[in-house]
Amino acid sequence: GVMRGTDEASGTLFSYVDLEERVPAGHPLRKIRQIVNDALASLDAEFDALYTDFGRPSIAPERLIRASLLQILFSIRSERQLMEQMDYNLLFRWFVGLGIDDAVWVPTVFTKNRDRLLTTDMSRKVMAAILAHPEVKPLLSDEHFSVDGTLVKAWASMKSFQPKDSPPPDHDDDPGNPPSPPTQEPSADTDKPPQQTETQPMPATPRQPRNAEVNFRGEKRSNATHASVTDPDARLYKKAPGAAAALCFMGHTLMENRNGLVVQADLTHADGHSEREAAIEMINRHSPGSTRRVTLGADKGYDAASFVAELRRMVVTPHVAQKARHSAIDGRTTQHPGYSQSQRRRKKIEEPFGWAKTVGGMAQTVHRGLDRVRAQFTMTMAACNLARLPKLLAA
């Protein structure tokens, strides 16, 4: 007969192969792990401060951050699955710093610790520590930047978008069911209390579908009159004229133009002004009070007189794309060769957005509330930078 491999379980009980030897020498996670560990070491004082804030966390902050980065890098869709993976995935154990026999955490404990530790502030510090790494810093431009915003779908359905004066539904995330059909008029004999039988018969209520049919046609709904009962921070918004409006947030990034790494991230309510406000805020955070001339590339959504004036006041050259009419940008800006260069480079800002949505799970957030989604968006952008480093540093 034809020889073929057998399918008997060998029953080997012990492995004497070190975790370190299991991970191939050229594995990209090796470089990522080295940079993350150096960055976390530089945040040591920050972690010490946590102890004074809320006592000793039950999970070491360093491990928590490494596990959260893995979840983003490997598109793991829930904390429960992350814990399951970490239980038997040797690569994950090695990256997080768990020994081969260390117990993984209970998913709810992990999530509670993470929500307490990974605030927007801490996520920003992690991103900054990675960018300040001596190997990473030379990759960044410190004078040419681009800015853009993207919509992040909220974890709330359109059915949760209710009139503000309506009473909240009795259950947290229930969109409300249709009114129940009218029952028969009570007849005379049902008014007497029923005879106590051994078990009370269950009242026969007509079953209602969990996800009720709702017809919104002709109903005017806006953020002024309505709010989501699931996530009150979500806003009804659309960026493109032909698109459907959706409940969402707006994520913002500031990118340096040399290698297209994200240097600042933010997330706000979705509205027409937030992109420009966030841009000013991110530049101020990135180089506070700088008088060195820097350029900022942006699409025509940023072409507003007040925004351009504010940039000039901050000694930032506004390399903003021009609107068809009433543009705040004139020939004094567009004549310079740097202007068209900025216009070409700013397109790269779409790549971190694309990565965050396809790999990083940010197309629709599973978190609720501005603060939590902002922290998630910031951490995802830090992970996006990490994913690019092995190739950039090998070049």
Domain coordinates in residue numbering, the chain = 19-117, 141-157+244-394
Q: What tokens were used for 176?
A: 């409300």
Q: How far, in Å, CA of 121 to CA of 119, rounded?
A: 5
CB 239 within 8 Å of CB 254: no
Q: How far, in Å, CA of 304 to CA of 326, rounded?
A: 9
Using a 10 angstrom Cβ sphere, with 0-12 exposed, 13-18 middle and 19 or more buried, the burial of residue 267 is buried
pLDDT of 196? 57
Q: How far, in Å, CA of 192 to CA of 335, rounded?
A: 91
| Residue pointed to by tokens 């070049």 | 395
Please report, in tens digits, the pLDDT of each residue of the chain (395 residues total): 677 777 777 677 777 778 888 999 999 999 999 999 999 999 999 998 887 777 777 899 999 999 999 999 999 999 999 999 999 999 999 999 999 889 999 999 999 999 999 999 999 999 999 999 999 999 999 999 999 999 999 999 999 999 998 766 555 555 555 555 555 555 555 555 555 556 676 677 666 667 777 777 778 889 999 999 999 999 999 988 888 899 999 999 999 999 999 999 999 999 989 999 999 999 999 988 777 789 999 999 999 999 999 999 999 999 999 999 999 988 888 888 899 999 999 999 999 999 999 999 999 999 999 999 999 999 999 999 999 999 999 97
Characterize 271-306 residue by residue with b for buried, 16 or more Cβ atoms within 10 angstroms of its Cβ, and e for exposed.
eeebbbebbbbbbeebbeeeeeebbbbbbebbbbee
CB 281 within 8 Å of CB 131: no
Of the options 3.40.50.1000, 3.30.420.10, 3.40.50.850, 3.90.1150.10, the CATH number for the domain spanning 141-157+244-394: 3.30.420.10
What phi-psi label fits residue 390: left (phi over 0), alpha (psi between -120 and 50 degrees) or beta? alpha
Q: How far, in Å, CA of 229 to CA of 166, rounded?
A: 10
- For residue 308, which phi and psi values (nearest 5 degrees)? -60, -40
Which distant-in-sequence residues (6+ apart) come within 8 Å of 308 by Cβ?
Answer: 318, 320, 328, 329
* pTM (two decimals): 0.86
CB 134 within 8 Å of CB 231: no
| Residue pointed to by tokens 């918004």 | 237
Q: What tokens were used for 144?
A: 């040419």
DSSP string, 362-384: -SB-S--SHHHHHHHHHHHHHHH
CB 231 within 8 Å of CB 154: yes
Q: What tokens were used for 390?
A: 């092995």
Maximum alpha-carbon separation in the chain: 92
42 to each of 185, 264, 393, how far by Cα in Å? 74, 19, 20
Helix extents (H) in the chain: 19-22, 28-42, 44-54, 61-73, 79-88, 90-96, 107-117, 120-131, 274-286, 305-313, 331-334, 337-345, 350-358, 370-394
| Single-letter code of the amino acid located at 258 | R
Q: How far, in Å, CA of 371 to CA of 292, rounded?
A: 32
